């Protein structure tokens, strides 16, 4: 008896989530299809029922983060998706530049975990990464459009996204805990200044 469309969709989503975690941990090149499918509790042959290539899966794994809800991953953080304007942008900065995000390799944003991989990837992956950055910048631009205009708000959103991602990439590479914290805190404080 063939599986239902709903079952197939759930299985595909499970494969994407397992792959996303492995890509975050090890990078695209170091993760095999066999490893992904073993993590999902499935066989390699099942992979091709859902994806043509590992890069197709990579595209979906990057794009899946667009709908990430930080409260589901880190319930202790203050995050309310109903907030609007600069209050929403401030909470995004606080969550993005949080200790929880910094320490959670498996749950981290692909913009932190995978920039070098994406730079070497194909068009589909770059398009998904671009879409993720556009979404983040748009969310961080909230509240500025009314006072500054659409173009200035977009520039602020892009600057905030670059500051958040860059701050986390640098902090992630540092082993000295005090210096890591200094980088994270400096990025957060400067981001708050840009919002206020």
pTM, to two decimals: 0.87
* Claim to verify: residue 49 and residue 80 sit in the same structural domain: no
What's the number of domains the chain is made of? 2
DSSP of 121-155, one letter per residue? S-HHHHHHHHHHHHHHHHHHTTTTHHHH-HHHHHH
C-alpha distance from residue 181 to each of 25, 113, 145, 167 (Å): 21, 18, 32, 10
Spell out the residues 6+ positions from residue 54 whose beta carbon is closer than 8 angstroms to its own.
28, 31, 33, 36
Q: Is the pLDDT of residue 3 over 90?
A: no
Last residue of a domain, one of 65, 88, 105: 65
pLDDT tens-digit series, residues 157-166 = 999 999 999 9
* Claim to verify: residue 47 and residue 73 sit in the same structural domain: no
- Range ranked top by mean pLDDT from 75-89, 129-143, 163-177: 163-177
pLDDT tens-digit series, residues 83-98 = 988 899 999 999 999 9
Q: What is the extent of the structural domain holding 93?
A: 68-195
* Claim to verify: residue 75 and residue 45 sit in the same structural domain: no
* Claim to verify: residue 110 and residue 152 sit in the same structural domain: yes
* Claim to verify: residue 123 and residue 106 sit in the same structural domain: yes
Q: Residue 80 maps to which CATH number? A: 1.10.357.10
């Amino acid at each position: 008896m063939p599986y239902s469309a709903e079952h197939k969709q759930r299985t595909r989503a499970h494969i994407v989530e397992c792959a996303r975690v492995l890509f975050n941990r090890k990078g695209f090149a170091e993760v095999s299809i066999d490893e992904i499918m073993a993590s999902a509790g499935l066989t390699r042959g099942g992979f091709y029922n859902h994806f043509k290539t590992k890069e197709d899966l990579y595209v979906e794994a990057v794009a899946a983060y667009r709908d990430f809800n930080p409260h589901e991953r880190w319930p202790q953080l203050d995050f309310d998706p109903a907030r609007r304007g600069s209050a929403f942008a401030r909470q995004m900065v606080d969550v993005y530049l949080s200790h929880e995000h910094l320490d959670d390799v498996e749950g981290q944003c692909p913009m932190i975990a995978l920039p070098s991989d994406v730079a070497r990837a194909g068009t589909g992956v770059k398009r998904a990464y671009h879409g993720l950055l556009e979404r983040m910048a748009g969310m961080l631009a909230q509240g500025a459009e009314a006072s500054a205009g659409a173009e200035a708000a977009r520039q602020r959103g892009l600057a905030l996204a670059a500051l958040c991602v860059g701050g986390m990439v640098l902090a992630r590479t540092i082993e000295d805990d005090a210096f890591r914290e200094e980088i994270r805190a400096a990025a957060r404080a400067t981001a708050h200044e840009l919002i206020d």
